[in-house]
């Protein structure tokens, strides 16, 4: 977790809030690697929600 950290600021993260890689068009990254920190619970449902949100975003754009 945290390998491709999510952040609004490219200097502190790799992807933005829509999982789009900063500075690269049409490259999205979804999975636990975008989590800025690790939680204390199993991340499966959070990863699923992130993937569904990203799919909706891609479909609408």
The whole-model pTM stands at: 0.82
Tell me what the mean pLDDT of segment 52-58 comes to. Answer: 95
Instruction: Identify whether the C-beta of residue 54 lies closer than 8 Å to the C-beta of residue 19.
Output: yes
Give the per-residue pLDDT at 41.
Answer: 84
Give the per-residue pLDDT at 4.
Answer: 93
Look-up of token digits 């200097």: 11
Render pLDDT for 18-39 as a digit per residue (tens, 0 to 9): 999 999 999 999 899 988 888 7
Task: Record the tokens describing residue 9, joined without a space.
Answer: 């600021």
Domain span at residue 52 reads 1-61
Which has the closest alpha carbon to 1: 39, 27, 51? 39
Task: Record the tokens describing residue 33, joined without a space.
Answer: 């690697």
Give the per-residue pLDDT at 3.
Answer: 87
User: How many independent structural domains does the chain possess?
Assistant: 1
Give the per-residue pLDDT at 61.
Answer: 86
């Amino acid at each position: 977790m945290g390998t491709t950290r999510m952040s609004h600021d490219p200097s502190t993260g790799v992807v933005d809030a829509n999982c789009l890689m900063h500075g690269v068009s049409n490259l999205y990254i979804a999975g636990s690697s975008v989590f800025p920190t690790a939680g204390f619970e199993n991340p499966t449902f959070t990863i699923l929600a992130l993937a569904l949100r990203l799919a909706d975003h891609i479909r609408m754009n």
